[in-house]
Structure 1
Amino acid sequence: MKFVDREKELAALQALVTQRGAQFVTVYGRRRVGKTTLLVEWARRSGVSFIYWVAARESATLLLRSFSQTIYRHRYPDNPPDLLFTFPSWEMAFHEVATLCQQQRLIVIMDEFPYAVQSEQGLTSYLQNSWDHLLKQTQIVLVLAGSQIGMMVDMMGYQAPLYGRMTAQLAVKPLPFYALREFFPDYPTAERVAVYAILGGIPAYLELFDETVNLATNIRQQILSSTSIFQNEPFFLLQDEVREVSNYLAVIRAIGEGAHTLDAITKQAGLPKNHVSTYLVRLQELTFVERQLPVTVPPHKRSTKGRYVLADAYLRFYFRFLAPNRILLEQGLLNRLWEKISEQLRAFIGQTAFEELCRQWVMRQGALGQLSFVPDAIGRHWAKDVEIDVVAINWREQQILLGECKWGEEAVGRKVITHLIEDRTPRVLAKLDGNWQVHYAFFARSGFTDAALAAGRVVGALMVDLAMLDGPF
């Protein structure tokens, strides 16, 4: 896999190497996000010896043999082990690891660790005992990595054997938008935003798209093809994490088709409400679903205005375009399916990736001190009578920024500016107590008319075009 960005993650991991004493680290993130590539790249750059081992879905005996032979090959690189060589127990294997790092730093990466735990349920207890009595007195940097986010998080829980042993943890997240420049250096910014809306920042997905052909061709060849990995991806993302995959998929599909409240999702999915509540909690833990509140709801105030949204870009695309049109895929009517996608794709991009990038831009400007105030929170506002795409708020200073995002192909006109200022702003302020100072930002794919720019200058609005959004980070 191509290694892109990840400088912050590399620095965080390398800091563990330079710290004194043994380090015990968990690294987790969804499938295909690039955990293995990151860990191997870090280990190679670290300047110290390392052992990399990846667990497979096989018996406990074969897993121990595999781990034992990996250790043996590290210790005796010129003397391959016998095919059946194995340490008699995991405790003995960990004891051998401890002898390798008594005096010198050694990175030991156990990748896909949850697979090993599924086959050898006592493994975490063996590791706990070895850490307490051997490994924590050595110079080891022990890394447990896995894609099964739920199990990785559970291993750090209060009642788990490894509770309290971890010295660090790293959640590997999708790549940021600017990283797409390295995958698609010749794509115009608008096309990269479209790719980001469909694939997000998942490196394994991005590598499947061909930078030498346009977006439409990539969608047809890589997503709509009968041999595409994308068509069953939602199932594969869930199968290792949950038991009732079909029920979880029903909940995700309901959200993808526009149900955003518990009652609406329950009705759409056709499942008992108490079960849906449980599924939603789990999906949030797995980072596939997010519950959002209007950013104008005061901190610590309970609210019933929460909306459940899909947090994963490809899941949004899949359940917006592929799941409802599965019959067209199965019948091979790809031209008709592409027509349906292309008719709605612009709106989809504008409502998802473009709005998210605009909020990220405001967050970045706030961090750099380029706004009139430092925001406490950035998000959206919605109520029965008004929705605002971008809102940044400082509760103590009573300052608020309201922003409008337009992904159309024509320059934004004056009417958009005045509508937010004169009509929608009073509706937002009516729901806030106090005397608020209002700031404005407008975001446009295709820029602004002269009249719009003049109207924006009157209120000191930030007028942000696509080039500014794609600027240096």
Structure 2
Amino acid sequence: MEFHGRSSDLRLLQQQLDDVRTGTGTTRGRALMLSGRRRVGKSRLVQELCDRSDLPSVVFQATRRRNPAAERRDFLDIVAHSDLPGADLVAGLTASDWNQALRALAVALPDDGPAVVVIDELPWLTEQDLELEGALQTVWDRHLAHKPVLLVLVGSDLSIMTALQEHGRPFFGRARPIRIEPLHVADVQDATGLDAAAAVDAYLVTGGFPEIVQSWRPGSTLRTFLAESLTNPLSPLLVSGELSMLGEFPQATSARSVLDAVGSGERTFSTIAAAAGNDGPLKSGTLGPLLTTLQDRGALAVDSPLSTRADTKNKRYRVADAYLRFWLAFAPRAIPLVERGHGERALAQIERSWASWRGRAVEPLVRESLRRLLPDKSWPIVNAVGGWWNRRNNPEVDLVGTDHEPVARSVELVGSVKWHDTRPFDRREYDALARAAVAVPGASEDVPLVGVSRSGFVDGLPLAAAWGPGDLVAAWR
């Protein structure tokens, strides 16, 4: 399968490998902690690195809930059958613990040239064998760090991968953390061959997950892609979300209920509590830790109003990645229809809600894109971009640019996002923005007003800046 995008990720990994080649650093070896959501393409990325490097390598894929002794046998077998120079020295060896298994790896590694070692899904190994962390630290310090090796430790459980790097844990300070995100919107445009506006729509649906993006036939419209995906209950668009959810959040758990509530559109603590509870709202003592856990796992993001006034009690929750945001909003109702052969009904349901759903779903992408574009010559001190709202969401301001976050010293711009298929940003929307802007704490009466629109702007609007789909996509290049 052709490898798409990831140029910056590959470049970063290649730089680490180049440092191993040249002996840059305090040790000959270098360790990386590569984390990211399930199905985001981590395994494919490290395999691509191995293939392109043309160096001796080992890639070991752990199996969840497998007996540790069986995992060690497989690890040694893979090392023995690898192209490492000392692989034959490992053949037939057994290991009673991970200390012995990792020392055998050190024996197989070359002394006079670089090599790459990948241990995929490290959290699954640490779950089954609590001694692995200590063994990894010991063997790294005594053997592996003195070899010209790039050791890449990969994991999908973000909370465990973060914990493995905390102070007090055995491997603390020995590995550089790297977070792998889905393909960005410019990668999605390159893969689908769409114009900028359509590429943004494609990103909102696929979330940049490689398997889903690769199922999009280049040049196909959004409607064509959805229609084709909804005729097949095993399409990547439907299956990827289900597999991710089952792997991380089993159906019966309270965490899954909370995620379902946010995915269905609930944003505040109280409305999420009401939607996620079975016999009444979830109690705050239950919901609070669940929300924290979902944030730690990278499933939820939380936003606070951005202005010169601190406001930590007015939080809004959202599904963190674009694909799960789409999947949770539409797939639970669509999948039963698709399984009964009524994909056209599922498509009609999506189309009825598409415009309103997309209008809110695009806002995180717009803000992140502007964070990449700013500061610039016109906005030299805009270092933060967010939104602002009060408890009644009246008004609710899409864009606020400030010099600092979470509490700004100055508000530099206030803006609105209008993402309509054909209607441009017009005078009525400008006037509404002007009225709302004065409610933002710290915004002066003459604060610059900006707009973001999918379909352009009517002439004569006194906007200080106007951005469109092409600008958002370009921000990622």
Regarding TM over 0.5, the answer is: yes
Is the contact between residue 365 and residue 371 of structure 1 (CA under 8 Å) also seen in structure 2?
no
Whole-angstrom distance in 2 between the partners of 1:24 and 1:197: 34
Distance 1:168 1:133, change over 3 A: same
Distance in 2 of aligned mates of 1:191 and 1:342 = 15
- Say if 1:127 and 1:371 are closer, same or farther in 2 by CA, change over 3 A: same
Contact 1:297 1:303 in 2 (8 A): no
Identity, % of aligned pairs? 24
> The residue matched to 1:427 in structure 2 has which SS?
coil
Question: CA 1:72–1:92 in structure 2 vs 1: closer, same or farther (change >3 Å)?
Answer: same
Partner of 2:343: 334
Q: TM-score, normalized by length of structure 2?
A: 0.86
Aligned to 2:211: 204
Q: Give the partner amino acid of 2:442.
A: L
Query: How many angstroms does 1:143 deviate by?
Result: 1.4
Deviations 1:412-453 (A, max 9, x none): 3222223322x222222xx338x5761121122121222xxx
Distance 1:238 1:176 in 2: 22
| Partner AA of 1:445 in structure 2 | R
The correspondence for 1:463, drawn from 463, 466, 469, is: 466
Deviation at 1:128, TM superposition (A): 2.2
Query: 2: distance between equivalents of 1:283 and 1:397?
Result: 31
Residues 1:122 and 2:131 are matched in the alignment: yes
Does the 8 Å CA contact 1:255/1:310 hold for their aligned counterparts?
yes
* 1:416 corresponds to which of 408, 413, 429: 429
Matched residue of 2:32: which SS? strand
Residues 188-238 of structure 1 deviation map (CA, whole Å, 9 limit, x = unaligned): 333222111111121122112222543223223325632335445445324
- Which residue is equivalent to 2:418? 406
SS of residue matched to 2:218:
coil
Contact 1:399 1:436 in 2 (8 A): no
Counterpart of 2:162? 153
TM-score calculated relative to the size of structure 1: 0.87
Could you tell me which residue of structure 2 aligns to residue 70 of structure 1? 78
Q: Contact 1:200–1:312 (CA<8 Å) still a contact in 2?
A: yes
1:181 aligns with 2:151: no
Q: 1:371-390: per-residue Cα shift (whole Å, max 9, x none)?
A: 33321311111123211111
Q: Judging changes above 3 Å, is the alpha-carbon distance between structure 1 residues 381 and 78 closer, same or farther for their aligned structure 2 residues?
A: closer
Query: What RMSD, in angstroms, separates the aligned Cα atoms of the two structures?
Result: 2.9
Find the partner of 1:432 among 442, 459, 474.
442
Partner of 2:286: 275
CA distance, structure 2, for counterparts of residue 202 and residue 76 of structure 1: 32
Matches within 5 A, 1:444-463: 444-450=453-459, 454-456=460-462, 461-463=464-466
After superposition, the C-alpha distances for 1:75-98 in whole angstroms (9 at most, x for unaligned) are: 57899999x944334333322322
Q: Distance in 2 between matches of 1:78 and 1:432?
A: 66
Q: Look up the equivalent residue of 2:259 and give its one-letter code.
A: I
Shift of 1:69: 1.8
Structure 1 stretches lacking a partner, 5+ long: none
Question: Any residues of structure 2 matched to 1:62-461 within 5 Å, and which?
Answer: 62-74=70-82, 85-89=92-96, 90-99=98-107, 100-164=109-173, 166-185=174-193, 187-211=194-218, 213-223=220-230, 225-231=232-238, 233-241=240-248, 246-270=253-277, 271-296=282-307, 298=309, 301=310, 303-324=312-333, 328-329=337-338, 331-353=340-362, 355-367=363-375, 369-383=376-390, 384=392, 385-394=394-403, 398-408=410-420, 409-421=422-434, 423-428=435-440, 431-432=441-442, 438-450=447-459, 454-456=460-462, 461=464
Q: Which runs of 5+ in 2 are unaligned?
A: none
**CA distance in structure 1 between the aligned counterparts of 2:62 and 2:201, rounded to whole angstroms:** 36
Between the two proteins, the alignment pairs up a number of residues equal to: 456
Compare 233-242 and 15-24 and name the one that shifted more.
233-242
Relative to 1, partners in 2 of residues 1:328 and 1:27: Cα closer, same or farther, differing over 3 Å? same
Contact kept in structure 2, 1:69 and 1:81, CA below 8 Å:
no
